[in-house]
Amino acid sequence: MTRLNRVTLETTLKPFALGRPDVDVAEEMLRQWDDLVAEGSSISILVWTGDGSEILEWSGNIDAEFEWARFIGFSNPEQFGLTADAPTSARPYAGAEGPMRYRRLREIVGALRAAALRRKAHVAIGTAFDPGPEFAPSDFKFVRHPEISESPFDLGDAPVKTHYRVTCSWSRLNADDVAYAAFPEGIPQGLSFGSFLGGQCESFLPAMGFDYLWLSNGFGLSFHPWSYRGINFDGHRFGRVDVGEATAYALSFWDDFAAACSYSLEVRGTNFPIGVELAKDLTPLRTIYERGYLRLPAPNSPWGALNRNFGVEIAGAMSRAAHIPGEGYPFRFYANDPWFWQNPWRDCYGREPYDIYMPMSVAALQGDGTMRTASVVEILSVDSEHGILDGRAAREIVPHLLSGIDTAPDRPGLLCWVYPFEEMSDLIAERPEAGSNLFLQDWFVAQAFTNGVPVNSVVSTAELSRILAGRQDVLSGTILLVCAATIGEKVAGELANFVRSGGRVLFYGAPAFDSIRALLDLRAAPAIEGDATIVTRRPIDNLVDIGRWGRVRMSEACSAGGSAEVAGPAADIVAGLEFAGGERVFAVTRTNPGWNGGRASWIRAALPIDEDGTADLPQRLGEEFVDAAALLRPLLEDFGSVIRQTRTPEAAVFHDRTIYRENARAIQFTASRSDNALWLSGYEQDTTAELALCLPGGIPVPVGQTVRISDGLGVLHLDSSFRREVRVYVQQDADGPVACKDGHPITTRLNPDVRRALSVSPVVDARIEVHPPWDVLERGAVEVRVDGEPLDGSLVARTRDGVLVEHVSGSIEFIW
C-alpha cells in the first residue's frame, strides 16, 4: 500500500548530454530513488529544460534550436551587475555542446516517461517557467521583450536589487513580427503575458510530451518573490495601492492563461507565508483556489538551505497546509542544485537531515480530529551542476524521508497555530492597510520558531470551529497559538468560551474584539507608537534577567501599530512597556477557578525589523533592540511546558566571512506526535547549547539519551541535527542523570511476544509515565519491571495516554 499520492523527481537535461543512451540515464535516475518512488501512487518528473524561454520562443518547428540550462553560474550576468567574465557568471558545464533541438527534448521526455511507466501506471512529466534571469540566456526576456519585466500599472513597485529583473505575470507585450506557434503572425500590441504563455504552452507541452507547467520562484503570486517588501508594503507602510485594481491585475494572469491553455499549473510559490504574501502583494490566493487554477498549494520554501531561516520556512509550510485547494499538499527537499556550485545535502546541510524532519513534522488538524500530512514528496534535484546523478545522496536521503513518513504526525504537537485563511482574505479585501496585522501574524510565528518555540501543527479557523463544536478532546494535549488581531469575531468568541471551559490559548497581537479583551482583562488606552523599553518579570534562558530587557519598536511595520493595552486587576502582568510618554502592558496571563483548568495568555508582539533595510529578508535592528518572540517560551510555562536554553548570546557570530554567516541562534526544533510518541526534531547551530525541558507529563527522556535532572528540569545535550523519540516522562525530586535506552526484546513469562523493551535508570522515588503505541495501550500489554523483577499489576495505573508507576527507584523496564 502506498502512503503518498505522488513522488516528484526534478532534473535538468544535463545527465542526458554526457553520451550515454537516454534509456540508461532515465533508468538509473529512477532506480536511485526507487525506495521513495515505491511510496507514491503516481510518479512525476519535473524537467528543468531551461528558464522557460524555450516555451516563449517555440515556433512549432521541431528541428529548431533552443537555449537550455547547460551552465554553471549566473546566466544573463548583466542582470546581476556582473560582467561576462566574472567568476560567478555562467560557464557551460563539461557536457554542454551548445543549443539543443526541440526534437532532442522530445526524445528525452519520452525516455523518462517510459522508465517511469515501468514503475507506475500513473505518470506525469512537467516542465518549468522561471521569471528570473539566472538559469539560461534569454534573448526573449531581456532583448526582444524587456517590457515583460515592468508592471503595466503603477503599483508602487519597490524592487530590492537594482539590476535583477523578473517577469511580471500581469505584464503586456509590445508587438513583434516573429513567428510563434500560437501567434504565427507575431505578437499583437498589448497582448497579456498570460495569454501569450498560455497559447504557447497549449502547443509546446503536447508537442514535447509534457503534462503540466510548474511556475517557478513565485511567478503568478508576486512581482517581488524574493523580497519581504512588495506592491502594498514599502518597508514602512502598508495600504499603498488600490486593492481592487491590484487584485484584478494579479488575477488577470490566471484567467488569461486558463483561457488559452488546458494544461494544469503547479507553483513553487514565494519564500514567504501566505499572510505575508497577502500583506505585501495582495496575492488573491483564495480566488485562485476557488477558480480551480491550482490542484496543489506551493511546497515549503528552500530558505532553510539558502540562509538557515527555518522559521520562515516552517511558518510558510504551516500556512500552506492549513487551507488547500485539493486533497493534499507537498513537501519539497533541496538535495542538489543543478545550476550553481552548491549541492545542499553535502554543502549546506553537511548530510544532516534537520531540514527533512522539521518541515515533515508540519501537519494540519482537521475538523474530524485527524491530521493532514504531506501527500507529495518532491526532490530538487536528482542531478548535480555537472549532470551527475547523485546516487550517494539518494541512498542517504531516502531513509530519512521514509522515517518521516513512518512517523507522520497523527495528533497536534505541543502548540497548534490557528490560521485564519478566510478571515484574513476578507480583511485585506476591505482594508489593504490591515496588511500590517497579517504581516505580524505570520512573521511573529516565524520569529517564535527561530527563538526555540516548537510550533509545527496548524488548524484553519473553519476546521477549528468544527472541533470546538464537537471534538474538543483532540485539543487536550496542545496549546492553541492565536493572532488576536486577525481571527474574526466569531472565532474570537468561540475561543473565549473554550478557555472558560478548560481550554488553553496563547494569544498574540492587538486584540480586535471585546471577547478576547474581557477574557484577558485588558483595557483599551490611547495607542503609543515609537521605541519603548520592555520590562519583563520573567527571565529568558541564561541571557535575560528580570527587569529591563531592551528596546522594542512599536510601529506599523514592526508591530502593526502602536501599543494600546493596559491590564486590569485580574490579569497577571508578565511584561510591560515604558515609553517616553507613558506605560503600556506587553504580556499577561490569566486563569480563573471557574475555568476548569483553562488559561489564556497574551503577548502584544513586535518584530526587530530595520524599516530602512534593503535586503531580501528584513535586517535586524541594532543590538539594543530585542526579539520579543523570545518571551513566548516563558509564557508557555504557565501552561506546564517549560522549554529553556543555555546558549551563546545572539551578538556572537558564527561562520563569519562565509555565505553562512549568522548570529547565534536558539536551538530550533519541532515536537510532533505519532502513534503516541513525541518526536523532537531540530537544528542546533551552536552545539555547546543546552536544552532543558519539562512538559505537563513530566521530564521527557528521549530514547537513547541521558538527561541531567536539575531543579525539576531535564537538561539535554544534543547534536547539530537531532531526531529523538520520547515515550518516557519522569518526575522526581532527586537531581542526577537519568537515561532511557532500548533493551533486548527478550520473551518474558508474562509476555511471549516481546517487541520492545525500554529501560529507564537510575531513578529515585520517581513518578514515571510511559506512552506505548496505541494498540499496545489498548491491549493493556505493558509489563513493568523494577530492578529485573515484575511489578505487581495493581501498582500500574492507566492514564489517558499511557501507564503510570509511582515511587519507584533503580532500573525500570517497560516491556511490550
Q: For strands 91-92 and 71-72, give the pairing.
A: antiparallel
Q: Considering the chain, what is the average pLDDT of its residues?
A: 96
| The length of the chain, given as a count of residues | 816
pTM of the full predicted structure?
0.97
Residue 160 has pLDDT above 70, yes or no: no
Burial letters 540-564, b for 16+ CB under 10 A, else e: bbebbeeeebbbbbbbbbbbbbbbb
Residue 712 — left, alpha, or beta (φ > 0 → left; ψ -120 to 50 → alpha)? left
| CA torsion, ordered 329, 506, 720, 616, to nearest 10 deg | 70
Question: Partners of 668 in the beta sheet?
Answer: 683
Asked if 685 and 664 count as a contact pair (C-beta separation under 8 A), the reply is yes
- Please report, for the chain, the start and end positions of each structural domain, with discontinuous segments joined by +: 4-295, 420-452+484-640, 687-815
CATH architecture for residues 420-452+484-640:
3-Layer(aba) Sandwich (3.40)
Q: Rounded CA gap, 330 and 268, in Å?
A: 10
Neighbours of 568 (CB within 10 A): 14
Average pLDDT over residues 752-779: 96
Q: 237-280, pLDDT tens digit by residue?
A: 999 999 999 999 999 999 999 999 999 999 999 999 999 999 99
How is residue 738 written as a grid cell? 537519568
The residues, any chain, with a CB within 8 Å of residue 185's CB and separated by 6 or more, are 177, 179
- Burial, 420: exposed, middle or buried (Cβ in 10 Å; 0-12, 13-18, 19+)? buried
Q: For strands 803-815 and 783-786, give the pairing.
A: antiparallel
Q: Rounded CA gap, 597 and 499, in Å?
A: 8
Average pLDDT over residues 581-591: 97
Q: Would you state the pLDDT for residue 161?
A: 57
Asked if 356 and 378 count as a contact pair (C-beta separation under 8 A), the reply is no
Question: Partners of 654 in the beta sheet?
Answer: 662
Q: 218-227, pLDDT tens digit by residue?
A: 999 999 888 9
Peptide bond into 762 cis (omega under 30): yes
Q: Rounded CA gap, 354 and 197, in Å?
A: 38
Q: What are phi and psi of 269, to 5 degrees?
A: 80, 175
Nearest to 585 by CA among 525, 668, 657, 645: 525
Q: Rounded CA gap, 745 and 40, in Å?
A: 33
- Burial, 649: exposed, middle or buried (Cβ in 10 Å; 0-12, 13-18, 19+)? exposed
Q: Would you state the pLDDT for residue 770?
A: 98
Nearest to 625 by CA among 646, 643, 650, 604: 650
**Can you spell out the DSSP letters for 398-442?**
HHHHHHHHHT--SB--SEEEEE-HHHHHHHHHH-GGGHHHHHHHH
Most trustworthy range by pLDDT among 258-262, 346-350, 429-433: 258-262
Q: 374-417, pLDDT tens digit by residue?
A: 999 999 999 999 999 999 999 999 999 999 999 999 999 999 99
Q: What are phi and psi of 814, to 5 degrees?
A: -115, 120
Q: 208-219, pLDDT tens digit by residue?
A: 999 999 999 999
Task: Give the distance from CA 710 to its chain's centroid.
Answer: 34
Q: 166-193, pLDDT tens digit by residue?
A: 999 999 999 999 999 999 999 999 999 9
Q: What are phi and psi of 90, to 5 degrees?
A: -60, 135
Q: 292-304, pLDDT tens digit by residue?
A: 999 999 999 998 8
Residue 158 has pLDDT above 70, yes or no: no
746: confidence class by pLDDT, cuts 50, 70, 90: confident
